[in-house]
Amino acid sequence: MASSSSIMKRSESVVDTMPEALRQSRYHMKKCFLKYVEKGKRMMKLHHLMQEMESVIEEKDEKAQVLEGLLGYILCTTQEAAIVPPYVAFAIRPNPGFWEFVKVNSNDLSVDGITAIDYLKFKEAIVDETWADDENALEVDFGAMNFNMPTMSLSSSIGNGVNFASKFITSKLYAQSGSQQLLVDYLLSLNHLGEKLMINDTLNTISKLQGALTVALAALSSLPNDTPYESFELRFKEWGFEKGWGDNAERVRETVRFLLEVLQAPDPVNLEKFFSRVPSIFNVVLFSIHGYFGQSNVLGLPDTGGQVVYVLDQVVALEEELLLRIKQQGLNYKPQILVVTRLLPDAKGTKCNQDASEKIIEMMEGKPDLIIGNYTDGNLVASLMANKLGTTLATIAHALEKTKYEDSDMNWKQLDPKYHFSCQFTADMIAMNSADFIITSTYQEIAGSKDRPGQYESHGAFTLPGLYRVVSGIDVFDPKFNIASPGADQTVGYLEDNKKPIIFSMARLDTVKNITGLTEWFGENKRLRSLVNLVIVAGFFDPSKSKDREEMAEIKKMHLLIEKYQLKGQIRWIAAQTDRNRNSELYRFIADSKGAFVQPALYEAFGLTVIEAMNCGLPTFATNQGGPAEIIVDGVSGFQIDPNNGDESSNKIADFFQKCKEDAEYWNIISEGGLKRIYECYTWKIYANKVLNMGNIYTFWKQLNKEQKQLKQRYIQLFYNLHYKSMVRTVPIASDEAQPTHAIQVAKYYFLLHSGFLELKRLRAVQKLHH
């Protein structure tokens, strides 16, 4: 197909170009659109549209002409179409984050541009026409409160929120009269445990601060770099300075210079450098409501064990970075990180009616400086807490459910009894709109790829027919979005062994993780079977031991595949491991045998196992659907595979091992490429540094946009109190019987105060997953 740039100018809209595109092939398009509407109301995805179009254009050259022209480009950028005869309404996405909506009349091929609201009504008419026509149907519009907020405009800028915020703050400090005083006021507000930091009331104006900074810089220039702060602390205090600038003359001099540059000629680079030095974060609260953070010697439930481990790794990284920063700031405080979770098993069957704010303030001896939510339930609680305490809020969704199930919004009524999606989608929107900044693992998590919308992007405009219509849920161009990928644990064990190459995969045994798909690829590919063995670590062997219907079906399918392809002797299926140290050794063992790791998921939001495998030097093949496509540079630091094309993927794996047989050095080249990628981009130190920098920047950003933030929070509170609270009452309280893992249930809190690195390491040593 011809490139879009040669077909359609960037400034042209689809509604302007589509009429001409239809006229160019009017005869075929008339037949095509009549084909679309002949089955009545329905939703059609891109592949359905293309299949039916190709079925009515029999001549090969004519078909190629259509596909290679403007109409082909428009269709290829279409995500879906709502068919309500005689109209076909298209949702077209030319680039990540950009959407256009048009309707085509199948009778005369007339084209009209429509709004997102109009398009949602077309979708609703397919399942609930009465509600679609109801003028009083509830419309939710979080974007209405963003009228004064700056946003980005390029798809390539999505996820670079801190950089954009820094540029905007810089321009505001430079252009608007009185804005620099806001920075002075912010610095005057800094304190910890009642002790003022950086400056005192002596330096309460821009001119006074600049004068004192100039004097201080001159005095510091004559001191040796390693001169401790205590040596000139009294002189600094006389000039109006307090602790927090640095622990020695060199560091204090750098911090002073950064601030002088910001005040004299603001630029985003020096602004970010300065704020990375500001002592504003000492106490952090993390919400992860899943429970079992070491209670009863258990670390996580079957579907949450990895998530709990992620949060604990997050805590360790944040503490290490805070300890380093506080020391370098010349301060002698001890950071506190509090994990708030459910007290399981004691809290089973309890309701979400516990207020933890007083307990948090009591334990921390004051309000937290930063609150971080994790997952849907934790993000919702974190947003309520942050609003109550006036604390800067970060949220981490990890994996939003909306994109995992096709048309989950349209079909919410059928899915709600099992998954409670109406509550979950609502909670997600409340949290993401409440957040001061959102931490994501990859660009794809926010805005997807060229062909597929991102998880957050899918919340831009959608409908739950009969419940509400979301006109504007979240804007992926909002500067609150940032990418800070989690790291790999740098303390992986080592087990020396030399055996036949093994391809290895480890995941939950469910449909999306596609472990049975990998087993089938292996069974079908005789060449691959001749080169390697397959080791799978997933689920149970006995379906009766599982409480999850989907897992039961996958267990049965595994047994059938092993029998069908006669894999005994070539496959080893190991039950899900309960010891993370043992899992680490598995990675190393496979690496030592010159094997490879395969992650075949149909979709993966991030891919922590991919990071862990690469960190062990294990050549990795991972799905090209989702986050792993950003982690792996194909053919350099690993390989991307298409989970929907088993033949191609299994042959790609076989090609690698064949090449390793012919060139013994090739395995090492890919292994080293993976390790290099991890050390450059995916360590917990990098992650913690980014998150704390975000906390500093967005705390000031919040002050700059205080009135706007308050307006939006009022809208969120109204939506939460009038709508969400009544919805969540319909969610049953969890019991000991099998329950869906998606229900929003927050119960009695268990406070895990991380007061020392060794204590958390002790918890990591008892990582026993509960089955």
**pLDDT given at position 603:** 87
SS (H, E, C) 70-122: HHHHHHHCEEEEEEECCEEEEEEEEECCEEEEEEEECCCCCEEECCHHHHHHH
Query: Residue 534: which pLDDT band, with cuts at 50, 70 and 90?
Result: very high
Q: Is 702 helix (H, G, I), strand (E, B) or coil?
A: helix
Average pLDDT value for residue range 361-373: 94
State in Å, rounded, how far the first CA of the chain is from the last one. Answer: 51
170: its two tokens: 């810089």
**pLDDT given at position 5:** 40
d(CA 241, CA 448): 47
Q: Is the pLDDT of residue 349 over 80?
A: no
**CA nearest to 18, candidates 141, 113, 85:** 113
Q: 587-606 burial string, b = 16+ CB within 10 Å, else e?
A: bbbbbbbbbbbbbbbbbbbb
Query: Residue 403: which pLDDT band, with cuts at 50, 70 and 90?
Result: confident
Query: How many helices (H) and strands (E) in the chain?
Result: 32, 23
CATH architecture of 502-682: 3-Layer(aba) Sandwich (3.40)
Question: ω into residue 86 within 30 of 0, thus cis?
Answer: yes
414: its two tokens: 């059928």
647: its two tokens: 């033949």
**pLDDT given at position 548:** 79
**Residue 336 bridge partners (DSSP):** 283
d(CA 337, CA 339): 7
**Residue 574 bridge partners (DSSP):** 537
Kindly report the CATH class assigned to 161-276.
mainly alpha
């600038």: which residue's tokens?
Answer: 245
- 14-136 is classed CATH 3.10.450.330: yes
């096709």: which residue's tokens?
Answer: 406
d(CA 188, CA 201): 7
Q: Is the pLDDT of residue 762 over 50?
A: no
**pLDDT given at position 405:** 83
Report strand pairing: 392-396 vs 87-95. unpaired
Question: How far, in whole angstroms, is CA 473 from its chain's centroid?
Answer: 16
The alpha carbons of the chain give a radius of gyration, in whole angstroms, of: 28
Q: Is the pLDDT of residue 50 over 80?
A: yes
d(CA 504, CA 501): 10
**CA nearest to 123, candidates 403, 454, 533, 462:** 462
Average pLDDT value for residue range 566-575: 86
d(CA 118, CA 422): 22
Name 256's Cβ contacts closer than 8 Å, sequence gap at least 6.
Answer: 213, 216, 217, 220, 245
Angle (CA) 359 363 366, round 5°: 90
The single-letter DSSP state of residue 299 is B
């080249």: which residue's tokens?
Answer: 669
**pLDDT given at position 708:** 87
**pLDDT given at position 232:** 96
Q: Is the pLDDT of residue 141 over 90?
A: yes
Q: Is 188 helix (H, G, I), strand (E, B) or coil?
A: helix
**pLDDT given at position 702:** 92
Q: Is the pLDDT of residue 55 over 50?
A: yes
Angle (CA) 491 331 325, round 5°: 35
**pLDDT given at position 739:** 40
Query: Residue 754: which pLDDT band, with cuts at 50, 70 and 90?
Result: very low
Q: Model confidence over 701-720: pLDDT tens digits?
A: 998 888 888 999 999 999 99
Q: Is the pLDDT of residue 750 over 80?
A: no
Q: Which of 396-400, 459-463, 580-584 has the highest mean pLDDT?
A: 459-463
The single-letter DSSP state of residue 594 is T
**Fold classified for 283-486+686-727+740-755:** Rossmann fold (3.40.50)
Average pLDDT value for residue range 421-449: 94
**Average pLDDT, whole number, for the chain?**
86
**pLDDT given at position 295:** 63
Q: Model confidence over 440-455: pLDDT tens digits?
A: 989 999 999 888 899 9
Q: Where are the beta strands (DSSP E) in 244-386?
A: 283-287, 336-342, 370-374
**pLDDT given at position 406:** 85
Report strand pairing: 195-196 vs 191-192. antiparallel
**pLDDT given at position 489:** 58
- From-to residues of CATH 1.20.120.1230 in the chain: 161-276
**pLDDT given at position 609:** 86
Question: ω into residue 740 within 30 of 0, thus cis?
Answer: no
């905007």: which residue's tokens?
Answer: 168
Q: Is the pLDDT of residue 636 over 70?
A: yes
Please tell me which residue, 266 or 139, carries the higher pLDDT value: 139
Query: Residue 735: which pLDDT band, with cuts at 50, 70 and 90?
Result: low
Q: Model confidence over 204-262: pLDDT tens digits?
A: 999 999 999 999 999 999 999 999 999 999 999 999 999 999 999 999 999 999 999 99
Angle (CA) 163 166 171, round 5°: 130
d(CA 172, CA 183): 11
pLDDT above 70 as % of the chain:
88
- From-to residues of CATH 3.10.450.330 in the chain: 14-136
429: its two tokens: 């929107």
- From-to residues of CATH 3.40.50.2000 in the chain: 283-486+686-727+740-755, 502-682
Query: Residue 543: which pLDDT band, with cuts at 50, 70 and 90?
Result: confident
d(CA 159, CA 522): 37
Please tell me which residue, 187 or 499, carries the higher pLDDT value: 187
**CA nearest to 537, candidates 598, 621, 619:** 598
Residue 192 has phi, psi (to 5 degrees) of -145, 130
**pLDDT given at position 346:** 65
Average pLDDT value for residue range 197-202: 96
